[in-house]
């Protein structure tokens, strides 16, 4: 696999995990406010 693709996938995966954690912490509770 080309190194560029590896780098892209790795960072995008990190971004997705960050999004998911952010949503779990701040996103879910908004309905209750």
DSSP code, position 1: -
Q: Which of 6, 17, 21, 24 is in the footprint of another protein by CB under 8 A?
A: 6
What distances in angstroms separate CA 25 from CA 4, 8, 12, 18, 20, one per listed residue? 32, 26, 20, 11, 9
Minimum Å gap between C-beta 28 and another protein is 14
Minimum Å gap between C-beta 22 and another protein is 10
> Applying CB under 8 A, what is the total number of residues that bind another protein?
14
Q: How many residues does the chain have?
A: 33
Told to check if 12 binds another protein by CB under 8 A, we report yes
């Amino acid at each position: 696999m080309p190194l560029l693709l590896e780098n892209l996938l790795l960072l995008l995966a990190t971004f997705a995990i960050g999004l998911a954690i952010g949503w779990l912490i701040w996103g879910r509770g908004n309905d209750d406010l």
